[in-house]
Amino acid sequence: MLEEFNQFKGKTVLVTGATGFTGRVLAHKLAEAGAKLRIIARKSSDVGDLADIDAEWFRGEVFDPEIVEPAVEGVHYIFHVAAAFRETHPDDEGYRKVHLYSTQMMAKAVTGKSDFCRFLHVSTVGVHGHIEGGRADENYRFAPGDPYQRTKLEAELWLADYAKESGLPHSIIRPGPIFGPGDMRLLKIFKMVNKGFFVMLGKGKGWYSLVHVEDLTNVMMLAAVKPEGLSQVFIAANNEPISMVDMAKLIGEKINKKVRIINLPLWPFYLAADVCVAICKPFGLSPPIYRRRVDFYTKDRQFDNTKVRTTLNYEFLYDNEKGLEETAKWYQDNNLLN
């Protein structure tokens, strides 16, 4: 545990999205640091191993005033991790409730509280869209490509403006694609490789700057306690980007599988995504494929993490190889690759 994390000892810390992949790791670290945890989680969310930590639970929607108001009373820190990531809504409004309205509600509730220390808001590198050539930093232009990214951007821009006017202490983190033991997003890639092939859509390379969940949560906690993190935006991403094809080959090495790369045209998958969404939305179902999932294979998102390393003085613990190896082992240990 980093020395700076001792600052959370005895502090009341609210975490949203704690039952998700990143939030779960964060909650355990905060508990280990001695924080008095509060957690907002939907009634349908699986508590899992969080049942073993000492936390006060508020079960309901993160944008419900009746849930939020008592949850934020007297808190010192807020880690707003909740996201409508694996959800599909008929329009932006469904995403806006989780991303923007919840942020506004919590931020206003703690404004002016003398003992409030920091509002740590988790956004996404997706707000920058496709990166044209080289690596982007925190000042790169915005180009969100879907409702998830648009409303994430709305939330962080609102928070920055509101904090400037109100004096609310805050920090914003934009994570790259998150991986590590417990992640289920990259599982489909590992499964393909385990079968001896990898499907690459379109003619691009699909460059990504991944971030291991251990590094991400460390960055989040440092940004919340370090004076240098105040009113700052940080991109949390590995030191080196990796292409989708190289990722597949590296995974193959780690699980002892020879990988055949199959290139397929892009347009049939976008068409299939649109058809699936059109069919599923009227019934409130989550489509098996949608444009954001297809975009994962086609967008280039290479990022520069210099600001995290210099401003927060943080050195990343995981490179792509170490992180993918650890993730592969977790999948194998849990019999998830077949």
pLDDT in tens, 299-313: 788 999 999 999 999
Report which secondary-structure segment, H or E, holds 15: strand 12-16
Residues 6+ apart with CB under 8 A from 295: 145, 146
Position 91 scores a pLDDT of: 67
Of 325, 131, 118, nearest to 235 by C-alpha is: 131
Distance of CA 1 to the CA centre of its chain: 21
List the chain domain ranges.
Answer: 3-182+209-239+302-317
The stretch 18-39 carries a mean pLDDT of 97
CATH superfamily of 3-182+209-239+302-317: NAD(P)-binding Rossmann-like Domain (3.40.50.720)
pLDDT tens-digit profile of 185-218? 999 999 999 999 998 887 777 899 999 999 999 9
Q: pTM of the prediction?
A: 0.92
The stretch 149-162 carries a mean pLDDT of 97
Position 85 scores a pLDDT of: 72
Token digits of residue 209:
């700057």
Report which secondary-structure segment, H or E, holds 147: helix 147-166
- Block residue for tokens 């920055």: 160
C-alpha span between 248 and 324 (Å, rounded): 10
CB atoms within 10 A of CB 322: 12
